[in-house]
Amino acid sequence: MRSARPKVLHRVAGRTMLDAVLDAAAPLGPARIVVVLGAGRAEVVATLAGRAVETVVQEPQNGTGDAVRAALPALGPAGGPVLVLSGDVPLIRTDTLAALLACRAQGDLACAFLSFTPPDAGDFGRVVRDRAGRVRGIVEAKAATAKQNKIAEVNAGVYCFEAGALAAAVAGLSPNRTSGEIYLTDAVGALVRGRHAVDVVRADDWREAWGVNTRRDLAAAEEIERRRALERALDTGVTVVDPSTTRIGPRVTLEPDVVLHPFVCLEGTTRIAEGCEVLPFTRVADSELAPRAVVGPHTDIEGARIGERARVGPYARVRPGTVLEEDVRVGNFVETKEAVLKRGVKALHLSYLGDAEIGADANIGAGVITCNYDGVAKHRTTIGAGAFIGSDSQLVAPVTVGPGAYVGAGSTITEDVPGEALALTRAPLKVKEGWARDRKGRKP
């Protein structure tokens, strides 16, 4: 990868490769998940926060068979099937893993593993079969004969073992004479020689079993995941105006009659309800859009909830903690953060609304700022329902403007304003008659 970052932390479609593998395994049901760590483990552990996983350390890193040996004590004596996954196979799908589990269970197998047939077998381990088509073992490409290297079917590095058979097979593994490493692939051959039942599940799409080893692989995986997401969206009933410029993350949920315009990027855990429209050059991350909301163009939304029929943009920035209720209008060059805008609020031009709660149908004029930070702590601003905040006003938090109150344009509000009141802090207007004429007369 030519990188200081651990390989499994490189991202495909916005999530790490390790996250992609864990996400694929998560829906399979209650399980103990053990992540085997080696080089760069401190960085990997930091990304696992919040996940129900255990970690073990393989030291030294002495091959895949040794990695499984390190993990087995953490699984305990409960038994059951043991699914072994590679952290650099980010395109693996839950349905494929479920098929692997079903194959092992239905055949009462000691092991079922995943194979695929790529256009170029390259360095993948070859699946060796006898004349009857039964699996005899897996041979690493480096150790394969010339005849074996012509085998098209290769090992994906994804296995489902019966727990007892796995423990026995791994215990008997020896280091490879060439590399000195202990290969999990040798466990398959050991089970066959011990007359245990072993079978294969072939991946429907060879690409999902493909391991990422280079930056080129990473870019190719990104494109495959992007295309998958587009196909899911189109099959759901989404209109994608220009598929070649649209990015949809794997955790994004879309409902029918959503319209996505060119250069839209949907990231993280995002949900977009029916009838929404996302206009060009807009990014939405970890957010929810309620039915018939319209956002963009050139808008950035992150960690927010957008209500029904709300309209955001163009050129708006909606930051984490923002809640825009139904029929809210947030216009060009407006920024919000930790702000709740109740039904029907309008903030259409050039404003910053941070740490604020704004009541229903309030109007926020151009250039309004909630001054929420005093250099040490953040403070909240509360604006009542139906209030009118005139243009170019500053509300110095903590402060409350009551329902139906007016703040005159150009005011700096440092104290609470009662409901239905008018607050002004302007200096008196001075007009000097003839001043401009007299000034011109004094010019040399």
Q: pLDDT tens for residues 63-90?
A: 999 999 999 999 887 778 999 999 999 9
Token pair of 17 as six digits: 């490769």
**Chain segment 3-34, per-residue pLDDT in tens:** 999 999 999 999 999 999 999 999 998 788 99
Tell whether the model's pLDDT for residue 443 goes beyond 90: no
Distance of CA 75 to the CA centre of its chain: 28
Collapsed DSSP state (helix, strand, coil) of residue 83: strand
Q: Which residue has the tokens 């170029």?
A: 120
Separation between Cα atoms, residue 217 and residue 223, nearest integer Å: 10
State mean pLDDT over 238-255.
97
State mean pLDDT over 284-298.
98
State mean pLDDT over 373-402.
97
Tell whether the model's pLDDT for residue 106 goes beyond 90: yes
pLDDT for position 444 = 65
Give residue limits of the domains in the chain: 7-209, 230-423
Q: Which residues pair with 137 in a beta bridge?
A: 128
**Chain segment 424-439, per-residue pLDDT in tens:** 998 888 999 998 888 8
Q: What is the mean pLDDT of the chain?
A: 94
State mean pLDDT over 389-404.
98
Helix (H) or strand (E) holding 409: none
CA–CA–CA angle 160, 164, 169 (5° rounding): 80
Residues recorded for the chain = 444
**Chain segment 260-276, per-residue pLDDT in tens:** 999 999 999 999 999 99
pLDDT for position 7 = 94
* Percent of residues in the chain assigned helix, strand, coil, to nearest 5: 25, 30, 50
Separation between Cα atoms, residue 23 and residue 21, nearest integer Å: 5
pLDDT confidence of 315, banded at 50, 70, 90? very high
Q: Does domain 230-423 have CATH number 3.30.1050.10?
A: no
> What dotted CATH number matches 7-209?
3.90.550.10
Q: Which of 10, 196, 298, 349 is catalytic?
A: 349
Let me know if 349 is a catalytic residue.
Answer: yes
Pseudo-torsion of CA 439, 440, 441, 444, nearest 10°?
A: 110
Tell whether the model's pLDDT for residue 211 goes beyond 90: no
What one-character-per-residue DSSP string does 143-201 give?
A: G--TTGGG---EEEEEEEEEHHHHHHHHHT----TTT----THHHHHHHHHTT--EEEE
Contact 10, 3 (CB under 8 A): yes
